[in-house]
Structure 1
Amino acid sequence: MEEATLLNTLKEYFGYDSFRPLQKKVIDSVFAGKDNLVIMPTGGGKSICYQLPAILLPEITLVISPLIALMKDQVDGLTANGVPAAYLNSSQQEADRQAIFQKIDKKELKLLYVAPESLQFIDKVLTEGKISLIAIDEAHCISSWGHDFRPAYTQLGYLKNRFPSTPVIALTATADKATRSDIAQQLNIPKAKKHVASFDRKNLSLEVRPGIKRFEQIANFVKNRKKESGIVYCLSRKTTEEVAAKLKAKGFKAEAYHAGLNHEDRITIQDEFINDEKQIICATVAFGMGIDKSNIRWVIHYNMPKNLEGYYQEIGRAGRDGLPSDTLLFHSYADVVQLQRFASNAANEEVQLAKLDRMKQYSEALTCRRKILLNYFGELKQEDCGNCDICQNPPAFFDGTVIAQKALSCIFRLKGSEPISTIIDVLRGSQNEAVLSKNYQKLPTYGVGKDISWHHWQQYIIQLINIGYAEVAFHKNNHLQLTKAAKNVLFEGEKVRLAEVPDRKTVQEENKGSLKKKDNSLFEKLRQLRLKIAKEEEIPAYLIFNDATLKEMEKERPMTDDEFLQINGVGRQKMQDYGYRFIKEIIAFSKEKREQKPAKKGNTHKITEELYKEGLSVEEIAKKRNLANTTIFSHLLKLYKDGENIDLHQFVSKADLEAIKKAKKDLDNPGSLKTYFEHFEEAIGYETLKVALRILEKEE
């Protein structure tokens, strides 16, 4: 097909002057009659890859799509663009179906959308000569290795057998290597040309926080975003309604969205969100498929998703216009337990549990989060992104080259045929059945890592997976295998930086202090000033200065015009428009800090109590008193025991408290904290256990 014709069609029906990366290659391949597998992230323009050819091809294009709502949105969009399209599903009347069949006979339709369950309706009507193209949307649904397996999709392989000369195009936003291969095999298109777009959405910031006092954190997150659209994803219908009700009570335009609502209500809520009449949707994961809203500015996961594919697809609904957008994920031990329960007894239980484990590892990572996501989808990146919480608050690193070489060499010696647990056992020289029965004690790497604990080896190997030197083969019993990048470490002398694995107590102390520590920062004050100016001028806040520029102001503290001009993102015009007000705020903040007198040293519980009542966090009190966080924590525990008004519940989630309460009953002889620690497989730290047990002790 001539390029001029393609560009004219693109402009006339879709309004674009040029193709996005990969779209033109896919479309050319379709016109060449080849089968294609397209992996293109949400917002990347997958639909055009088959919709544009459908307009120019002589016969009808058949589109298999999983959801009625998704089909309706697509057909409505095409119809609005002047493209004749229709959809068939089981809810339609027979007369409606016959009217569509008549249009097909008269060649009045270009695209026909059908759910896989409704294929029998078109069986008698369509013959080989009447189909120019078959498109399988959300193609990951066919694979049990995929994140959203649907049994009805498994029958679709017959389409290629029935129409061997008709090109098939399979499309999905997210699929790892195993899933891609499985899609091609099951659809009987093993030689399909694979097109994989970049998964790198640089405009999305990535942040993960512990799931403690989630609603308070969400309310704080959205309070300065009242005019921005966002989605809060929850695991249950009940949670969507609870969060939406609390947000409404605080004055936000929020609604719950889930499958329990009737069809009319779902459509109304969806339309209100698309038209900016409602700012926040609290939804289960079904919401968002096919929602073409480009200005969603943030996505929050109230609960942890069940895998990285789903997580990536859901955060991908933010910032489709390319502007800076935020994502926030809460994680907790209780979420993991709940998701494990959901996965149990599923046909692909082992795969689901392994993918959940990778999701958990992402949540607890010490490595650049974007790098983890990209490496997971096979897009290996060596450099850090600078736009995630790990990059902005990096852990301490050390030269971990020797550790990496030992681990990667062990994976190599085991020929990529063992899971992480066996690899660690070999490295540590364990003499258990898994090692001795296969003579692994004779390997050169046996026992080379005796000096490193099991937990630390686990964390280091997870880092190596996250960085991209190894990968989990989900379709091969979750065995660890080397990637191409590993040879650079093993044979080319490439250095590896590993993050120091912190004690769990340290991590928890930092998390507990994090809720309040930024409230009075210079960055927050500059952000408030930016919001005030934005409201005055009625323009988006990011057009004044973006967050990166404010961060640099916080770091550099410019107090003259010349210094202010040196900040990245500050031009002459912005200096003239806003410089005076921002410099004034920086000078005022610096003066306030100088005037603050350091607190007197002391080790009494009463000084801690006074500071606690002033609203300071554990971390802030420790810093002010020049004491360890653990010392301040012990003060609060004693004060609570003595009957003082200390809210220990803020340091432990309801779910963790319930889990510990149950464990206290179930364990025959709870004994020490270590018993509980081991019972929860180290997932709940010592400080949380101390708090929970102190609360339960008082309740009893």
Structure 2
Amino acid sequence: MNEKHSKLSAELKKHFGFDTFKGNQEAIIENLLQNNDTFVLMPTGGGKSLCYQLPALLQEGTAIVISPLIALMKNQVDAMRSYAGDDSIAHFLNSSLNKTEMTRVREDVLNNKTRLLYVAPESLTKEENILFLKKANIQFYAIDEAHCISEWGHDFRPEYRRIRPIVETIGRAPIIALTATATPKVQHDIQKNLGMLEANVYKSSFRRHNLYYEIRPKKNVNKQIIKFLKDNQGKSGIIYCLSRKKVEELAETLRVNGIKALAYHAGMDAATRTGNQDKFLMEEIDVIVATIAFGMGIDKPDVRFVIHYDIPKSLESYYQETGRAGRDGGEGKCIAFYAYKDIQKLEKFMQGKPVAEQEIGNQLLNEVVTYAESGVCRVQQLLNYFGETLEEPCGNCDNCLNPKETFEGKDYIVQIIETIKAIKESFKADYISKLLAGVADSAIKSYKHHKSPLFGSGGDHDARFWNAIIRQALIKKLLRKNIENYGLLTVTEKGEEFLKNPYAVTLYKEHEFPDDEQDDDVHSSSANTASADPVLFGMLKDLRKKIAKRKEIPPFVIFQDPSLQDMAIHYPISIEELQNMTGVGQGKAKRYGKDFVELIKKYVDENEIERPEDMVVKSVVNKSGLKVYIIQSIDRKIPLDDIAAAKGMEMEDLLKEVEAIVYSGTRLNIGYYIDQVVDEEKQDDVYAYFLEEAENESLENALDELGEEEYTEEDIRLMRIKFFSEMAN
């Protein structure tokens, strides 16, 4: 073995320049060289590729590497060619090749010049490729990203399930299947589908000591992200969003706030996408905002943080994506934003899919909810999910560093185990939680359990509490979730022992998260008043009154209350900063802003106030085509109802858009339309009301004062737009 060891180490040094193997690499390579089927489970950054690249270089013939991504193939082929100094050593076979390139690949393979041939599973199924590969001298098949085979995996691809029969058609050779994420269920699925249940299995620990895990409430996410990025300036990171639209919006918001960021998603043209990826790899930018299309096979060792703007669909996706942080062993922060509403959105996406697929998807989502809401060590939860046990908490996650309140759980766990046994281990966690809490939903009624003595026997607590007890009992291996049967709960041997001789168990209270995602752009005046500086707010109101008197206009025309409250929170001291306040556009800031920022600057200096300037998020200027279209149409005196019809909008929605344009400081003349629909006397009355009587811009107050019988809501809104446009802008 020592001689073999020194020989393999010498080859490693010769071909790749490394002095030593990592983890199980050497044992895996030995096994493959002995023509044995091999299953490799190794976290991202553990060195999976080397497990098939080195043995391919040491033997005659060609290793077929089946890989799902064209970009990933190209990266690996380029790397192998640079190691070997020979372009024939590695090729890929996929839809991006022209006829000449295809011919060259086939010639090199049949002439035994090519050691590694990367193939997409779709290319493998083509008749001409099967005929060509039948003539080749195949060393072995390497199936990368093997979790794609399993419907329980986080990236299921039906074409992966056809690999085995095609391998049989081409000619059997040893198989090495590799993945960075697989629960015991997924691992079994992969081995069974590939006909390699007897394979030697090499599992590396999923523990990554350098990664820090944290879940944050999804509240003012842009502010939180920008603050984090400013605190970690110059470091490389990835931010994942679920939708392409959110990717584009967030990347632009970051750029406006002085962060070097670009977008990446499958809907972009290939040149832009590749260009953005290269800029990230070459460190021309710091942050890439991406959908999950980004990152598979991206070998950037110094990604210092991975942020999830949206919670992913499964813990496997989450683990794989966070695994792209800190691959060099250095700092890696993994932060995810969570609101239960995101889970509900994901559940909606699954509607209309086959029932079995929905069952699987919902179960994977339940695991994500458990992970996010639990107060237990994050790493213990992740390792438990992947079938590995960590006895001691990791000491490097938000739950370990800020422990949640604990309580004695012995009696609760006994009650859970007794209930599960009483109903014959035939139900899921949610059902048992509702049964104990006394929630009579349709499922419980259909089994007549609402008439059972168990119903409501834990009624002192709600279903959420009992769910938390079950989650922690699962982590302590007192219960088992039967994945084959869609998550039915059973009692383990350890759980049976516990029931006979219960012992003290410390449990954690769970996190409270908002049900709703709360956006940065939503300004509620009541929330703002709470944290606004009351002294400054009073001074700003006095200043507004003074200017209003001088200009002979009502104070609310200058700035409305929410704008002043925002100023009293963020202390803007320049016109540019003032434009970031609620309801203050460029026009308003220029027209009225000078006196306000001077007052605030003086107040800040005199009171030595530390301004929270890093928390003022600049919003992206709305360049929406709709706004431009509205402004141009009004300039051309097109009636508003025609503008609405042309854009397929309700009149009310059009008026909202017009109000937003005018309130932010753009002057619009809609008098030509008002003259058509509101008689002159009414126009004068409404205008006079806003100029002389109104204390604020409220529509309700105006209707009360002017009389709902006389005026419609639309009449008043149109006149209010005219008034604001002429007076404020």
State the alpha-carbon separation in 2 of the partners of residues 279 and 466 from structure 1: 38
Equivalent of 1:333, from 337, 340, 351?
340
What's the secondary structure of 1:75's corresponding residue? helix
Q: Tell me if structure 2 keeps the 8 A contact 1:254–1:280.
A: yes
Q: Which amino acid aligns with 1:354?
A: Q
**C-alpha spacing 1:484/1:264, structure 2 compared with 1 (3 Å):** farther
**C-alpha spacing 1:462/1:222, structure 2 compared with 1 (3 Å):** same
- Who is 1:96 aligned against? 101
1:625-636 → structure 2 map (5 Å cutoff): none
Q: Which amino acid aligns with 1:375?
A: N
What's the secondary structure of 1:127's corresponding residue? helix
Equivalent of 2:250, from 243, 253, 261?
243
Q: Which amino acid aligns with 1:101?
A: R
Q: Tell me if structure 2 keeps the 8 A contact 1:200–1:374.
A: yes
Report the Cα offset of residue 459 of structure 1. Answer: 2.2
1:279-298 → structure 2 map (5 Å cutoff): 279-298=286-305
Query: For residues 412-464 of structure 1, what are the alpha-carbon distances to aligned partners after superposition, in whole Å with 9 as ceiling and x for unaligned?
Result: 55554321133335546788885687798999978764544333212221233
**C-alpha spacing 1:442/1:200, structure 2 compared with 1 (3 Å):** farther
Q: Which amino acid aligns with 1:292?
A: D
Query: For residues 267-316 of structure 1, what are the alpha-carbon distances to aligned partners after superposition, in whole Å with 9 as ceiling and x for unaligned?
Result: 22212211212110011111000100100000111111111100110111
Report the Cα offset of residue 30 of structure 1. Answer: 1.3
What's the secondary structure of 2:484's corresponding residue? helix
Query: For residues 335-388 of structure 1, what are the alpha-carbon distances to aligned partners after superposition, in whole Å with 9 as ceiling and x for unaligned?
Result: 223212222233412211221121122122211111111111111223211111
- Who is 2:148 aligned against? 141
1:96-495 → structure 2 map (5 Å cutoff): 96-119=101-124, 120=126, 121-127=128-134, 130-162=137-169, 165-347=172-354, 348-412=357-421, 414=423, 416-424=425-433, 427=436, 449-482=458-491, 486=495, 489-490=498-499, 493-495=502-504
Q: Tell me if structure 1 keeps the 8 A contact 2:130–2:170.
A: no
State the alpha-carbon separation in 2 of the partners of residues 54 and 132 from structure 1: 7
**C-alpha spacing 1:417/1:382, structure 2 compared with 1 (3 Å):** farther
Q: Tell me if structure 2 keeps the 8 A contact 1:203–1:322.
A: yes
TM-score, normalised to structure 1's length? 0.70
- Larger mean Cα displacement after TM superposition, 125-134 or 231-240: 125-134
Q: Which amino acid aligns with 1:192?
A: A
Larger-Rg structure: 2
What's the secondary structure of 2:117's corresponding residue? strand
State the alpha-carbon separation in 1 of the partners of residues 311 and 490 from structure 2: 26
- Who is 1:61 aligned against? 63
- Who is 1:26 aligned against? 28
- Larger mean Cα displacement after TM superposition, 160-169 or 172-181: 160-169
Q: Which amino acid aligns with 1:289?
A: M
TM-score, normalised to structure 2's length? 0.67
What's the secondary structure of 1:126's corresponding residue? helix
Q: Tell me if structure 1 keeps the 8 A contact 2:260–2:285.
A: yes
Query: For residues 626-665 of structure 1, what are the alpha-carbon distances to aligned partners after superposition, in whole Å with 9 as ceiling and x for unaligned?
Result: xxxxxxxxxxxxxxx9989657999xxxxxxxxxxxxxxx
What's the secondary structure of 1:124's corresponding residue? helix
Equivalent of 1:85, from 86, 90, 102?
90
State the alpha-carbon separation in 1 of the partners of residues 331 and 404 from structure 2: 25
Given the alignment of the two structures, is residue 613 of structure 1 paired with residue 533 of structure 2, yes or no?
yes
Q: Which amino acid aligns with 1:269?
A: N
Q: Which amino acid aligns with 1:152?
A: E
Report the Cα offset of residue 333 of structure 1. Answer: 3.3
- Who is 2:681 aligned against? none
**C-alpha spacing 1:433/1:258, structure 2 compared with 1 (3 Å):** closer
Q: Which amino acid aligns with 1:477?
A: Y
The count of corresponding residues between Structure 1 and Structure 2 is 536
Report the Cα offset of residue 117 of structure 1. Answer: 0.4
- Who is 2:586 aligned against? none
Report the Cα offset of residue 106 of structure 1. Answer: 1.0
Report the Cα offset of residue 495 of structure 1. Answer: 3.4
Q: Which amino acid aligns with 1:387?
A: N
Q: Percent identity?
A: 39
**C-alpha spacing 1:238/1:249, structure 2 compared with 1 (3 Å):** same
1:572-583 → structure 2 map (5 Å cutoff): none
**C-alpha spacing 1:380/1:280, structure 2 compared with 1 (3 Å):** same
State the alpha-carbon separation in 1 of the partners of residues 509 and 252 from structure 2: 42
State the alpha-carbon separation in 2 of the partners of residues 698 and 301 from structure 1: 44
What's the secondary structure of 2:197's corresponding residue? coil
Query: For residues 97-154 of structure 1, what are the alpha-carbon distances to aligned partners after superposition, in whole Å with 9 as ceiling and x for unaligned?
Result: 1111100111000010000100124211123871111011111111111111111111
Equivalent of 1:49, from 46, 51, 62?
51
State the alpha-carbon separation in 2 of the partners of residues 392 and 24 from structure 1: 37
Q: Which amino acid aligns with 1:37?
A: F
What's the secondary structure of 1:311's corresponding residue? helix
State the alpha-carbon separation in 2 of the partners of residues 189 and 696 from structure 1: 72
State the alpha-carbon separation in 1 of the partners of residues 503 and 167 from structure 2: 46
**C-alpha spacing 1:97/1:160, structure 2 compared with 1 (3 Å):** closer
**C-alpha spacing 1:501/1:143, structure 2 compared with 1 (3 Å):** closer
Gaps spanning 5+ residues in structure 1: where?
Answer: 513-604, 617-640, 651-694
- Who is 1:500 aligned against? 509
Q: Tell me if structure 2 keeps the 8 A contact 1:42–1:173.
A: yes
